[in-house]
Structure 1
């Protein structure tokens, strides 16, 4: 029995395995407990192991690669169309095999431990920022009920809260002040933890030549550079910059039929955090483009005049994504003059 592709439906304790030969015929099917999972796969000696790119998939992929087995990770959305009849573990494993057998299937690159470390710091930082925003909004809501209005920005909150804490005027009682003070202390603690996470990111930045190279691009800083490298690595799975830009959802969504091409708003596919970082970085560039005479600034000024500020920001984010793919997938250094020509 020679297994060409072994499809695995991952789980916490019980794994469903489905093996097929080169003709696609089922030659193996089993349900395996976690303790015997790796040994079972080693004994079956498959040529390829295919899995959905879900939780723990990159860990198991690294384990199988250490055994000398080729690994293919597939986005779950591309597996769903191959599930026949009812959804269960057996049918899911079979669908993974069929999806992995398609010659035009797009696969997910296996991440290294270092990449997942960077992603872990980004996820923790993102969570802390969300918690800080929630606390600020909670305090603003409490004060708004007492007739005190504070602007939405974090800087305005820091500026106005000390003034409110000084006196008990109107409906802002001592109890209300105590609650706002409690929230302010939690916000301060969160900001210290956010700074600690950003220190980790700066450390990753210093250690990675790829991060330093793409950080030279206007609109790409430490956070964006480390996030991109953590997600796409050397970006060699993308044929060109357009593919990376499309993967990030920065290209128009197409709805064409009958030979008529219809382009709509951007598709917003892929990782929304990466897309947001690139767009916000582009906005920072647009702020200082007014009055400049270099090639990129003139292009941006003309684009803003024709299509508006938001479209210009997305266009620059799209361009930066293409430049990032070219830099990550090659040894050439970043040349601003060539990038803005």
Structure 2
């Protein structure tokens, strides 16, 4: 059995580069492994600390290697880049990973379970279908507008648009195009509904997701996605760290003791941040119909700041509330936001 102090692994589709150190200051063992030899190599290695970048298939390999008794850590790719000495190849990347994982202040990505990754696959598939739905509706609207068939905007107006197209004498080729797009939209809508049912089922089985559903503006969709995306809220030191991870905190450009803040960083999960901003937008529109600490905070801030700035600030507050609920297991205090 081989024994190593730590091992850096650069992942790929078919070939994996290994950079292993038996001890500090000792020459490294460098290996290029095929997929079939990956398990064999680590099965013949004593339990070691293994580092990988949090990229495609990383969570899968983390679970597989952890099952063999190894301690696996995942590192954000941006955190390993400073340790790349020169050039860019798999061996250099593996060495950089091995060096980065040894830093005492390094931050690691929590490993997701197979169930959490499957739940995220549902959300990503739904997001893709929604984009395809928007593209198809825009194409249908654009083609018919060339022939004077125009209705109000919105996915809910598609039926009205198709009815207008039926009542209008259009060329046969255009009618064939409209028919194909209508069938495509029908199939996409059914697929989205099927995914929504699966997501609702997962939501009902998760206690954490049900707790998050009680937060104003956070429904089953957002609650389920956040629960699957954040396997360990303890990975964040505070609620602000969680909001910063989502890119909802101001970007700093400070120097010489002078603090300079700009717009939000827009780091992290773009889709999750978008959903939180949409939730905040909805709350902002209905804040006057509610009472409580949160409603009063929204109304007071709206009197001083532009609506868009208040929306982002509210999304930040929602993110912090979500982290606190996930961390403590408490329910949202309904007295903070109740209907008048």
TM-score by length of 1: 0.94
Does 2:36 align with 1:38? no
Counterpart for residue 187 of structure 1: 185
Which range moves more in the overlay, 103-112 or 326-335? 326-335
**Which residue number corresponds to residue 50 of structure 2?**
49
Partner in structure 2 of residue 11 of structure 1: 12
- Distance of aligned partners of 1:25 and 1:245 in 2 relative to their CA distance in 1, 3 Å threshold: farther
Counterpart CA distance in 2 for 1:179 and 1:14 is 45
Q: Is the 8 A contact 1:122 1:227 kept in 2?
A: yes
Q: Which residue pairs with 2:196 in the alignment?
A: 198
Of 246, 249, 252, 1:251 maps to: 249
Deviates more, 1:11-20 or 1:175-184: 175-184
**Structure 1 segments (4+ residues) deviating >4 Å:** none
Kindly state the Cα deviation for residue 258 of structure 1 after the two structures are TM-superposed. Answer: 1.5
Distance 1:235 1:26, change over 3 A: farther
Once the two structures are superposed, the pairs formed by residues 128-207 of structure 1 within 5 Å of their partners are 128-168=129-169, 172-207=170-205
1:273 corresponds in structure 2 to 271
Structure 1 residue 26, shift from structure 2 partner: 3.5
Q: 1:24 to 1:75 in 2, by over 3 A?
A: farther
| 2:280 paired residue number | 282
* TM-score of the superposed pair, with normalisation by structure 2: 0.94
8 Å CA contact retained: 2:47, 2:69: no
Give, in angstroms, the shift of residue 215 of structure 1. 0.8
1:294 CA displacement:
2.3
Worse-matched range after superposition: 32-41 or 50-59: 32-41
Any conservation in 2 of the 1:119–1:230 contact (CA below 8 Å)? Answer: yes
1:1-341 maps to which residues of 2 (within 5 A)? 2-23=3-24, 25-168=26-169, 172-337=170-335
Q: Deviations over 1:201-234 (max 9, x none)?
A: 0000110001001110001111100110111024
Question: What's the CA shift string for 1:86-144, capped at 9, x where partnerless?
Answer: 11111110000111111111111100011011101011111111111111111112122
Counterpart secondary structure, 1:121 = helix
Which residues of structure 2 form unaligned runs of 5+? none
The count of corresponding residues between Structure 1 and Structure 2 is: 337
Residues 54-102 of structure 1 deviation map (CA, whole Å, 9 limit, x = unaligned): 1111011001111221111011111122111111111110000111111
Tell me if the contact between 2:214 and 2:331 (Cα under 8 Å) persists in the aligned partners: no
Quote the Cα distance in structure 1 between the aligned partners of 2:178 and 2:124.
27
Residues 150 and 161 of structure 2 are in contact (CA less than 8 Å); yes or no, is this contact kept in structure 1? no
Please provide the CA RMSD for this pair: 1.7
Looking at structure 1, the residues matched to 45 and 27 of structure 2 have their Cα atoms a distance apart, in angstroms, of 14
Deviates most, 63-72 or 25-34: 25-34
CA separation of 1:325 and 1:293: change in aligned 2, threshold 3 A: closer
**What is the deviation of 1:158?**
2.9
SS in 2 for 1:101: coil
How far apart are residue 319 of structure 1 and its match?
0.9
Deviation of 1:22 after TM superposition, in Å, equals 4.7
Whether contact under 8 Å (1:79, 1:96) holds in the other structure is yes
Structure 1: any 5+ residue segments left out of the alignment?
A: none
Q: Secondary structure at the match of 2:32?
A: strand
Maintained 8 Å contact 2:246/2:269: yes
Q: What is the CA distance between 1:339 and its match in structure 2?
A: 8.3
Partner secondary structure for residue 288 of structure 2: coil
Q: Within 2, Cα distance between the matches of 1:187 and 1:239?
A: 44
Partners of 2:336 and 2:5 in 1: how far apart?
A: 46
